[in-house]
Structures are given as structure tokens and as C-alpha cells.
Homo-oligomer: A and B are copies of this chain.
């Protein structure tokens, strides 16, 4: 086990824009109307004692690597974890806020787990009544249970039934009124969700229009709806491919940012805010240079609709987040200090908890205080209109 502090850190001057909820077992069963009681996602125990989430006919455990807060590197495991094996801060909001206090983190934006990082797993529920309710019930959990534990500090990212844009917009309007400040959107769900189109298809434009109107940032978490390049090789069973996957996974966000900019999604929705979560930042200087170079050289034969350089859309509307990224901090002026945000990733393996302030120190050696303040606090405050 790590050496875990027993007292609050003292200062609370970090905002983490990327943490993760591990849903407690009652989220859906406790909210289900009687007609859905039997069908609600629930935890069942398999013959070998492993707790499994049951969603329609699909069974899946709480993945080890997603629940490792407090463990040392040597103790990390991919094996299924029952709730009793986890630090309670993983699944209990009251314990979560204590863990944030220990770490000196003031505000934490959290992604879902059971519904999929961007809700894509629930979008695949075949029973449409159950699907729509299960998505809304997750949002209700954020609104009536998770966030009230520490208003303004525990912030849940909402999910939507994206494949039906009208329903998605209605759900967004509902949850925005009830205090949800951002959305998690799966960026590659067209390959895994029945009836979905690529995220950049104009069929989803009404959703982004509503995001602009409600000032609702969308968060694109790496691997949401898709693995990194190399999945076919990953499943080859060749030793070392798991590490290659972990190494390359953040780069999925290079692809999706390219597509969002080039297809004109940001041109058509100039107030939409796009957040790249857990994608790191060290590759962003190359991304921006390569994008503008492509614009300079290739826009004639492609008949691009863009009238501005890709980097201008990025600087106006995109935010890239990192946990620990010395290469990106070194080249921060090639990225744009106003476009960078810090994340802690609690309770996944990459988390900086319970030493976030030490990691920030290590990650941003000697950078000016105003830049550090923007990255760790100021930009998130502005993007999410926090007080």
C-alpha cells in the first residue's frame, strides 16, 4: 500500500477535470420504477464470488485497473475487484470527498464506469425503454446523490442517448437545469453502438447546438467507445502488447480532434467547448503544426470548407488535459497555456492521488505562477463557469 496521509492536505487549489466514478451497487435498482425493477442494471455474484454488473444479458466485473487508488505500483492488477477490495472513496461519494481533501483537490469532474466512459455501453441496451431510463437514472444519481454530497466540488459528467438526437437534447436540457455542468461523449461509438454514426456526422448537430446554448462542454475521454490503434494486435496474445496499448491509448484523441476540426464541427458550432480527457499534451505541438501544414498544402485538392487554420479552432474551442507530462509542459507555449488543464484520474492506475501536489510540482518545475494557476485551476474555472 501507498503511504496515505491521515489529515487534509491544507490548501485546496487544484481542479481535476478527469476523475472516475465507480458506481455503487444500488444506483439503478434503488431508482427503478416497479415495471423496470427486474430489468435494472444490478450487481450479481458469480459462482466464484466475483461481483458482476448485469446489464440485460451482459455481465462485467469492476475492472481492477479502474479501482487502484491507494495501491502501490507493485499491487496493481487487472483482475476483477469486489467492492470490499476497493478503497471506499472509489464508490462512496462521502468517502470520495474525504479523499479529495487528503489530496488538496478542490473540484473533481467525474466520468461514469458501468454505462461506459461516455455512456456507449448503455446506448447498446436493446430494450429502448430500459436504455433511456438507465441513462437518465445515471444522471439522476449524479444530481440527487453524488453531487449533493459536496455541492460545487463533486461534479458528475452527464451522459445522453446519442443515437436519438432529439431525446439526447431533451435529456441535456433536463439535466442542465438540475446542475450537471458537462457531458461525457464517446468519440468512436459508431463502431460499437448499433445505429450510431461517426461523432462528426452532421446528424448530431442539434446536440452540439444545444451544448452551445447551455454552455455545456463535451468531454472526450481516451478509449471511450474504442481502443487505441493496434487492437487487433493486442488480441494476438503477444507479450508486451498490453503495455503498448497503455502507451499508445492517449493518441486516440489526436484522431478525434483532427476529425472534429476538419469536418467543420467547430466551425458550425463556434461556442462548443471540447475537452480532450486523459489524452496528454506532449503531442499537441506536433498536432497543431501538422494540422496547419495540412491546411496550407492540402486544402485545394480536398476542397476544404474551412476558412481558418485548424489551430485557430483549437485555440478558440479545445482544451487538452494531462496528468503528468513534462514534454507538454516544456512546449506549453506551442500548445497555448489557456488551453491546458490538469487531471488526477482518481481512482484509476494513472492517478496522482494521494500526492497530487507533489506530482504537480514535479510536472511543472519552475514555470511562472500565473501559468501554473491557469493550468491547475484557472482554465477549468473559466471553461465550466465555476465560482
- Residues of A participating in the B interface, judged by any CB pair closer than 8 Å: 64-65, 73-78, 190-191, 197-198, 200-202, 228-230, 232-233, 236, 238-244, 246-248, 250-252, 254-255, 258-259, 261-264, 280-283, 285-291, 293-306, 310, 324-328, 330-331, 334, 349-350
Q: Name A73's contact: one of B230, B248, B297 (CB within 8 Å).
A: B297
**Residues in chain B near residue A280, CB distance under 8 A:** 286, 290
Q: Name A247's contact: one of B64, B238, B291 (CB within 8 Å).
A: B291
Cβ distance A318 to chain B, nearest Cβ, rounded Å: 14
Cross-chain pairs A/B with CB under 8 angstroms, 15 sampled: A73-B297, A74-B300, A76-B298, A198-B233, A198-B236, A201-B236, A229-B255, A238-B263, A240-B305, A243-B302, A244-B258, A244-B261, A282-B285, A283-B286, A327-B334
Q: Which 5 A-B pairs have the closest CB atoms?
A: A282-B286, A240-B263, A285-B327, A240-B262, A244-B258
Task: Establish whether residues A301 and B78, one from each chain, have CB atoms under 8 Å apart when the complex forms.
Answer: yes
**Residues in chain B near residue A289, CB distance under 8 A:** 282, 325-327
Which chain B residue has the least Cβ–Cβ distance from A227? B229
Task: Establish whether residues A252 and B229, one from each chain, have CB atoms under 8 Å apart when the complex forms.
Answer: yes
Known contacts A200-B238, A248-B254, A327-B331, A232 near B283 by CB under 8 Å: no
Task: Establish whether residues B238 and A198, one from each chain, have CB atoms under 8 Å apart when the complex forms.
Answer: yes
In the bound complex, what is the Cα–Cα distance between A74 and B297 (angstroms)?
8
The A interface, classified by DSSP as helix, strand, loop or mixed, is helix
Task: Establish whether residues B247 and A286, one from each chain, have CB atoms under 8 Å apart when the complex forms.
Answer: no
Which chain B residue has the least Cβ–Cβ distance from A349? B297
Which chain B residue has the least Cβ–Cβ distance from A191? B232
**Residues in chain B near residue A293, CB distance under 8 A:** 324
Task: Establish whether residues A244 and B230, one from each chain, have CB atoms under 8 Å apart when the complex forms.
Answer: no
**Residues in chain B near residue A300, CB distance under 8 A:** 73-76
In the bound complex, what is the Cα–Cα distance between A197 and B255 (angstroms)?
25
In the bound complex, what is the Cα–Cα distance between A75 and B301 (angstroms)?
8
Task: Establish whether residues B301 and A76, one from each chain, have CB atoms under 8 Å apart when the complex forms.
Answer: yes
**Residues in chain B near residue A238, CB distance under 8 A:** 198, 200-202, 263
Task: Establish whether residues B255 and A228, one from each chain, have CB atoms under 8 Å apart when the complex forms.
Answer: yes
Task: Establish whether residues A262 and B243, one from each chain, have CB atoms under 8 Å apart when the complex forms.
Answer: yes
In the bound complex, what is the Cα–Cα distance between A340 and B22 (angstroms)?
44
Task: Establish whether residues A233 and B259, one from each chain, have CB atoms under 8 Å apart when the complex forms.
Answer: yes
Task: Establish whether residues A263 and B282, one from each chain, have CB atoms under 8 Å apart when the complex forms.
Answer: no
Cβ distance A75 to chain B, nearest Cβ, rounded Å: 8
In the bound complex, what is the Cα–Cα distance between A288 and B326 (angstroms)?
11
Task: Establish whether residues B239 and A263, one from each chain, have CB atoms under 8 Å apart when the complex forms.
Answer: yes
Which chain B residue has the least Cβ–Cβ distance from A306? B240
Task: Establish whether residues A250 and B290, one from each chain, have CB atoms under 8 Å apart when the complex forms.
Answer: yes
In the bound complex, what is the Cα–Cα distance between A282 and B239 (angstroms)?
28
In the bound complex, what is the Cα–Cα distance between A311 and B45 (angstroms)?
43
Task: Establish whether residues A262 and B282, one from each chain, have CB atoms under 8 Å apart when the complex forms.
Answer: no
Known contacts A243-B294, A250-B290, A232 near B190 by CB under 8 Å: yes
**Residues in chain B near residue A327, CB distance under 8 A:** 285-286, 288-289, 331, 334
In the bound complex, what is the Cα–Cα distance between A64 and B303 (angstroms)?
16
Task: Establish whether residues A233 and B200, one from each chain, have CB atoms under 8 Å apart when the complex forms.
Answer: yes
Cβ distance A264 to chain B, nearest Cβ, rounded Å: 6
In the bound complex, what is the Cα–Cα distance between A76 and B300 (angstroms)?
7
Task: Establish whether residues A262 and B241, one from each chain, have CB atoms under 8 Å apart when the complex forms.
Answer: yes
Cβ distance A315 to chain B, nearest Cβ, rounded Å: 15
Which of A236, A240, A250 lies at the interface centre, i.e. has the most chain B CB atoms within 10 A of its CB? A240
Q: Name A244's contact: one of B233, B240, B242, B255 (CB within 8 Å).
A: B255
**Residues in chain B near residue A324, CB distance under 8 A:** 293
Which chain B residue has the least Cβ–Cβ distance from A230? B255
**Residues in chain B near residue A303, CB distance under 8 A:** 239
